[in-house]
Structure 1
Amino acid sequence: MDTVEILARLVAFQSVVGTPNAAIVDWIRTYLEGLDIHVTVLPGPEGDRSNLFATIGPRDVAGYVLSGHMDVVPAAQPNWSSEPFTLRRETGRLYGRGTTDMKGFLAAALAAAPELARANLSRPIHLAFSYDEEAGCRGVPHLLARLKELCAHPLGAIIGEPSRMQAVRAHKGKAAARVTIGGRAGHSSRPDIALNAIHAMSKVLNTAVDEAQKLTRGPFDLVFEPPYSTLQVGIISGGLALNIVPDNCRLELEARGIANAKPEELLAPVRRSAEILTQQGFSVEWTPLSVYPALSLAKEALLATLLEEITGRPSLAAVSYGTEAGLYQAAGIDAIICGPGDIDRAHKPDEYILEDELDECRRTILALAMRCARA
């Protein structure tokens, strides 16, 4: 099967984040096992989602990981020009949910797999495909926790998020959380005997806004846009009717930290402002939603040099979006981003990838295999 055929199969699986993914995992496993490639399916604690890990070459020798996620964001937007889970081919473009983010990379790796299997690699190439990346990299930590039993410690991990096949050495870390405040309902004519959860949440919101403003004053890392850590509230909801004192309010927020900042610590002042409300009779629940660390790989790192050589392009200092790369680095594995497509096309109606981008990605993977064959 060629890359486009494989991509069509992958896009057809509606592997939306947070939903069961057995169908796509089983298809990939069957395809790879048909090439006599060793595959391990790693069920997650959710019970209905799994990671997949495959090794081409010797498992007891240090090699390279090609990392990607199988999940996609929902495709509920009404203005798709065609069915989002059916690949549409038009003048060099391949349309469908996940084509760029990031089933295109998976398809290129799987299309290269037959040649990798015949290459008699001295160093292995591993395929590490995860679930629920779009919910804050929830699947890959379970894969990394079992990596020691799957292979020798890797030399590096290439995370195939869309980067126009230019290697990227850094991104910010992220932490997200939900704050839920419970008050006491009542008629709006007697707010004095009720506890207004929305009014109480305004104190939390003000703290979040103040902290976000403080972060604009530094510290700075000029490789990022913006060059400082950020904090923002994305969702706030509460109340049932105007004449009812609301007894519940929910707020969701995130922080994105530059390389030396811990994003969960950036949220700490907001959490403290919420927990103080318990002294006024409110219930407060703080629920972490996701967290992943920043990526920071030195320009002179061997992995960065390798990617520059096999792509023929200089590496890029940083991008604004986050990936699983920081988790690999936190596990002691050098990591870098390099994949086909453009992040600006992701998470939108009529998401697409170029056939030329898929071809370039496949050629790059084969160039990596040539290095592993003569290592």
Structure 2
Amino acid sequence: MDVCDILDRLVAFPSVAGRPNNDIAGWIETYLREYGAKVRLVPGPEGDRSNLFATIGPADVSGYVLSGHMDVVPAAEPQWSSTPFALRKEGERLYGRGTTDMKGFLSAVLAAVPVLSHLRLARPIHVAFSYDEEIGCRGVPYLIARLPELCAKPLGVIVGEPSGMRAVRGHKGKAAARVTIHGRSGHSSRPDLGLNAIHAMSDVLSAAVREAERLRHGPSDASFEPAYSSLQAGVIVGGQSVNIIPDSCTIELEARAIPDIDPAGLLAPVKAQAEALAARGYVVEWTPLSAYPALSLPQDSALSVLLGELTGAAPLAAVSYGTEAGLYQAAGLDAIICGPGDIGRAHKPDEYVLESELAACRQMIEALGARCAT
């Protein structure tokens, strides 16, 4: 199968994050086994979805990991020009949900496997495909925890998020949380008998706005846009009717942190403000939604130099979006981003990847295999 055929098969799996993924993981497992790869499914606690880890070459020698995620975001937007989960070719463009983020990379990896399997690899190439990345990198931690029993410590991890095939050394970390305040309902003519959850939430929202403004003044890192850490409230829900005292209100917050800053710590002042409402009779729920650390790979690291040679361009310092690469680095492994597609095409109707981008990615992977061969 060529890379377009493989992408066609992968896009046809509606592997939306948060749902079972046995169908896509099983198809990839069967494909890899046909070429002699040693494959393990690494389930998570949900019981209906798994990560996949495969090795081509000797597992007891340090090699390289090609990392991607099998899940995609939903595709319910009415603006799609064609069925999101059916690949559509138009010129060099290949349309479908996940073509850029990031089944294009998965397809390039799988298309390179026949070549890799025929090489006499002195160092292995590993394939690590995760689940539920799109809802907070929930699956990959279970895979990372099992790496010591699956292979020798890797020399590096290449995370194939869309970067236009330009390697990237850094990204911010992220933490997100949901705050729900429960008050007491009643008729709006007697506010003295109720507890207005929306009014109480204004204290929490004000704390978030203050922290966001404070972060604008540093610390900073010029590699990023913006150069400082950030915090925002992205969702707020509450109330039933203008003449009913609202008994609940919910906001969802996120913080994005430059390297060496704990993203969850940026939310701490907001959490403290929320919890202080308990003294006024409110019930407060604080629910973490997701968290991953920043990525910061030194320019002179062996992995950065290698990717510069494989792609023919010096790696970029940083991008604004986040990836699983930070989690690999936090586990003690060098990690870098490099994959086909453009992040600006992701998470929107008529997502697409270019055939030339897939070809460049496959070429890079095969060149990596040649470096690992005897």
What TM-score do the two structures reach when normalised by structure 2?
0.99
Q: CA deviation digits over 1:153-187, x for unaligned, max 9?
A: 00000000000100000000000000010001111
Q: Which amino acid aligns with 1:36?
A: G
Query: Which residue does 1:182 correspond to in 2?
Result: 182
What is the alpha-carbon distance in structure 2 between the residues aligned to residue 281 and residue 139 of structure 1?
38
Q: Which amino acid aligns with 2:258?
A: I
Q: For 1:144, what is the secondary structure of its paired residue?
A: helix
Query: Which residue does 1:156 correspond to in 2?
Result: 156
Query: Which residue does 1:299 correspond to in 2?
Result: 299
Query: Which residue does 2:29 correspond to in 1?
Result: 29
Q: Which moved more, 1:239-248 or 1:314-323?
A: 239-248
Q: 1:242 offset after TM fit, Å?
A: 1.3
Query: Which residue does 1:360 correspond to in 2?
Result: 360
Is 1:333–2:333 an aligned residue pair?
yes
Query: Which residue does 2:142 correspond to in 1?
Result: 142
Q: Which moved more, 1:43-52 or 1:269-278?
A: 43-52
Q: CA deviation digits over 1:135-157, x for unaligned, max 9?
A: 11111001001111100000000
Query: Which residue does 1:132 correspond to in 2?
Result: 132
**1:95-244 superposed matches below 5 A:** 95-244=95-244
Query: Which residue does 2:94 correspond to in 1?
Result: 94
Q: CA deviation digits over 1:51-110, x for unaligned, max 9?
A: 000000000000000000000000011000000100001111100000000000000000
What is the alpha-carbon distance in structure 1 between the residues aligned to residue 88 and residue 125 of structure 2?
31
Q: 1:47 offset after TM fit, Å?
A: 1.1
What is the alpha-carbon distance in structure 2 between the residues aligned to residue 115 and residue 322 of structure 1?
31
What is the alpha-carbon distance in structure 2 between the residues aligned to residue 188 and residue 145 of structure 1?
53
What is the alpha-carbon distance in structure 1 between the residues aligned to residue 223 and residue 311 of structure 2?
22
Q: 1:190 offset after TM fit, Å?
A: 0.7
Q: CA deviation digits over 1:220-243, x for unaligned, max 9?
A: 100000000000000000111111
Any unmatched runs of 5+ in structure 1? none
Q: For 2:120, what is the secondary structure of its paired residue?
A: coil
What is the alpha-carbon distance in structure 1 between the residues aligned to residue 155 and residue 240 of structure 2?
55
User: How many residues are treated as equivalent by the alignment?
Assistant: 374
What is the alpha-carbon distance in structure 2 between the residues aligned to residue 243 and residue 145 of structure 1?
52
Q: CA deviation digits over 1:223-268, x for unaligned, max 9?
A: 0000000000000001111111011110100000001111000000
What is the alpha-carbon distance in structure 1 between the residues aligned to residue 12 and residue 73 of structure 2?
14
**1:273-288 superposed matches below 5 A:** 273-288=273-288
Q: Which amino acid aligns with 2:36?
A: D
Q: 1:199 offset after TM fit, Å?
A: 0.5
The answer (yes or no) to whether the contact 2:119–2:369 under 8 Å persists in 1 is yes
Q: How many percent of aligned residue pairs carry the same amino acid? A: 68
**1:64-83 superposed matches below 5 A:** 64-83=64-83
The answer (yes or no) to whether the contact 2:36–2:56 under 8 Å persists in 1 is no
Query: Which residue does 2:6 correspond to in 1?
Result: 6
Q: CA deviation digits over 1:182-222, x for unaligned, max 9?
A: 00111111110100111000000000001000000011100
What is the alpha-carbon distance in structure 1 between the residues aligned to residue 367 and residue 190 of structure 2?
73
Any unmatched runs of 5+ in structure 2? none
Q: 1:48 offset after TM fit, Å?
A: 1.1
Q: For 2:210, what is the secondary structure of its paired residue?
A: helix
Query: Which residue does 1:308 correspond to in 2?
Result: 308
What is the alpha-carbon distance in structure 1 between the residues aligned to residue 250 and residue 48 of structure 2?
28
Query: Which residue does 1:51 correspond to in 2?
Result: 51
What is the alpha-carbon distance in structure 2 between the residues aligned to residue 283 and residue 219 of structure 1?
34
Q: 1:120 offset after TM fit, Å?
A: 1.6
What TM-score do the two structures reach when normalised by structure 1?
0.99
Q: For 2:143, what is the secondary structure of its paired residue?
A: helix
Q: 1:34 offset after TM fit, Å?
A: 1.2
What is the alpha-carbon distance in structure 2 between the residues aligned to residue 42 and residue 143 of structure 1?
6
Q: Which amino acid aligns with 1:316?
A: L
What is the alpha-carbon distance in structure 1 between the residues aligned to residue 343 and residue 192 of structure 2?
51
